[in-house]
Structure 1
Amino acid sequence: MRERHEPSFKSARRVGTQPASATFSGNTIRPGWLLRGWSLAFLWPLFIRLFGGDGVATAGLLAGGVLLWLAGDLMAAARRIEEELEAGERTLPPRLPRRLAGAVLAGLGAALFSWAGAHDSLFMALLFGVLAATGCRLVYGADPLPDRQALEAAAAQAGVKAPELLAAVEEARAKIRAIEERAAALGSRPLAAKIAAIGARARAVIAQIERDPRDLARARRFLVTYLDGTRDVVARYAEQQHDLAGTGLDESFVRLLDTIEQVFAEQEDVLKRDDRLDLEVKIEVLEKQLRLEGIH
């Protein structure tokens, strides 16, 4: 076994993102509700135009309100994505910049309100649109910037391809999210707690792979085996939870999840030590245990 050393680069944030710059922090404002509230403020003018028979103004006000509401949804989605990046649940932000798209929609909505609701000139409507978009930028900040150079540097240093590394970690994170969502829907607090602990352990292993992906192929096999095993345990429990409550079989599911959690807790150290034999043994042991339980 050889001792594994950390890559030379270090980042204040996780590999793959650069912090978003903002004049005011979007954390201080409940994401999206400012824009949604603004859209609701125009309901009264909308009713006045509607009952007054002004079809063009009604359509403009309605479209503007919808655009502002959608802009609020995008701002809320942007905040969730930022939290996922900070928590290690994502490697890179999505290709569509949510905050930028939300600012554009807010600008269009404001322009429609000005033109249709207040009957302003086209110039004034465009001016209000620009001011609204700029205000969104100041209040909510910018989208996190993808820092693919850092990811590519880590991959190049490890001798693997950056797309392969990105695909591996995103696949693992998607599985974790799917497992957690399914476990939360079961209504079993002990199971949900176990899955949450496994998810945290798995994300720590993924972070280690991002920092030093030299053993990507073997680590990927480990993640696939253990995450698929966890998914199969949750799926089997979902099928049989009413029959298993309070039985020994119910306890066997919990013990199996305990085993998976324990192994995930060990694997970050295993990957650091580059203990390939130990990693292979852990994979084979779990596969055997899952077969014995009739799950895999």
Structure 2
Amino acid sequence: MATRFGGRFSPDMPDRDGRRAPSPPRLHRLASRPKWVTIAATPFLLGAFFQGPLDMVTDLAAFGVIAAAMWMTREGLAAEAAYDARRVARRPAIPRKLFGGVLTGLGLGLGAAEPGAALGAGAIGIAGLALHWLAFGADPMRDKGMEGVDDFQQSRAARMIEEGEAHLAQMQDTVAQLRDRQLQARVAMFAATVQDLFDRVRENPGDLSAARRYMGVYLVGARDATAKFAALYRRTEDPGTRAAYETFLDDLEKDFSARSDRLLEGDRSDLEIEIAVLRDRLAREGVRPRTDSETGPEPATPRAVTSQDARTLDDLLTPDRDPAKTRR
């Protein structure tokens, strides 16, 4: 029976500390469609060289516009996949799929353009725009999971996360130049741990102050240390240097993971406080009965006045008082 190969740096395999390698980026389910649309537009490119100068320029322009539209659409699908993968996300700043649809209609209209047939070319362009919308859908147009979040704080967090992701990208690019798959996988695991911290801050921008040092100073230090290690290891290939760098990544990764866990525990504590306050309010308003652990013994309920012999106001207001004794 065949046995699947797996090791420390194999995808979806735990390493020596029980951690898993980072999962590959999530692709949109329609990510392959733009390629086929571009291939379908190749007749414009191939047939352009068998026509007159004006028709050749028109067909080349049609193919170029459609290719650009599919590139824009592919970027829009990638942005939508990232939007769907996150619990808290802003809508894409640029509606790439919308622009891709407009360019698709323009390209088809150019390809169908003929003297005296402008109306027909325009109809084909509009049909191409509609078909693009049916094939790829619309861009996300609303923010997700950001109800009640301070826009200023959210903008600060997004800016810090963007800078941190740039530092991570520089680290990965530097290690990729060494052409060492194990080191590349190790840095990718560290990047995945840092992304967990980024996700915590995305979901709760109020945690930015507690994570600012990790997202700024520590990542800049890791980037600079990676550049120095790569320059030294490229010349010497010293195993001791490599082991020291991996130990450095291990320690830094533990710090980032611990910070993420502390932020999560803080969120859990805030949730428990909110639940306790809500329960207390409901109990005071009589919507929810208090439990024995929440309250002490119930106060004695005064006995209702049932005697028909009460004749004075004092008798009515003092139910424990015996009216017969009062008359005596």
Does 2:156 match 1:164? yes
Unaligned runs of 5+ in 1: 1-24, 276-296
- Percent same amino acid at aligned positions? 24
CA-based RMSD = 2.7
Q: Report the Cα offset of residue 89 of structure 1.
A: 12
SS in 1 for 2:149: helix
User: Residues 72 and 191 (structure 1 numbering): CA distance in 2 closer, same or farther, change over 3 Å?
Assistant: same
Partner of 2:174: 182
| Cα pair 2:35 2:70 within 8 Å, conserved | yes
Distance change in 2, residues 1:186/1:120 (3 Å): farther
For residues 1-296 of structure 1, what are the structure 2 equivalents within 5 Å? Answer: 27-28=29-30, 30-49=32-51, 54-87=52-85, 91-116=89-114, 121-147=117-143, 150-151=145-146, 153-155=148-150, 161-274=153-266
Change (3 A) 1:229 1:213: same
Amino acid in structure 1 at the alignment position of 2:166: A
Displacement of 1:120 after TM fit? 6.5
Tell me the TM-score normalized by structure 2.
0.66
Note closer, same or farther for the CA distance 1:28–1:166 as it changes in structure 2 (3 Å cut): closer
State the SS of the aligned residue for 2:206. coil
Paired with 1:87 and 1:186, the residues of 2 have a C-alpha distance of 31
Q: Quote how far apart the aligned CAs of 1:223 are.
A: 1.5
Larger Rg computed on CA atoms: 2
Amino acid corresponding to residue 205 of structure 1 in structure 2: L
Which portions of structure 1, spanning 4 or more consecutive aligned residues, are displaced by more than 3 angstroms?
83-94
Q: Which amino acid in 2 is paired with 1:135?
A: L
Change (3 A) 1:267 1:26: closer
Q: Is the 8 A contact 1:71 1:106 kept in 2?
A: yes
Match in the other structure for 1:20: none
State whether residues 161 and 215 of structure 2, in contact with CA within 8 Å, keep that contact through their aligned partners in structure 1: no
Query: Could you tell me whether the CA contact under 8 Å between 1:115 and 1:121 is conserved in 2?
Result: yes
What corresponds to 1:21 in structure 2? none
Deviation at 1:201, TM superposition (A): 0.9
Amino acid paired to 1:96: I
Give the whole-Å Cα distance in 2 for the aligned partners of 1:213 and 1:29.
Answer: 31
Q: 1:152: Cα distance to partner?
A: 6.3
**Normalised TM-score (structure 1):** 0.72
CA deviations 1:152-194 (Å, max 9, x no partner) are 62337xxx63322222222223332333333333312222112
What is the identity, as a one-letter code, of the residue corresponding to 1:153?
G
Question: In terms of mean alpha carbon deviation, does 234-243 or 127-136 score higher?
Answer: 234-243
The higher-RCO structure (CA 8 Å, 6+ apart) is: 1
Query: Contact between 1:71 and 1:105, CA under 8 Å: does it hold in 2?
Result: yes
CA contact (8 A) 1:34 1:72 kept: no
* Structure 2 CA distance for aligned equivalents of residues 84 and 186 of structure 1: 29
| Higher helix content, 1 or 2 | 1
Partners in 2 of 1:82 and 1:166 — Cα distance? 17
Conserved 8 A contact 1:97-1:143:
yes
Code of the aligned partner of 2:131: G
Whole-Å separation in 1 of the counterparts to 2:156 and 2:95: 23
Cα displacement (A) at 1:263: 1.5
CA spacing shift, 1:26–1:219, aligned 2, 3 Å: closer
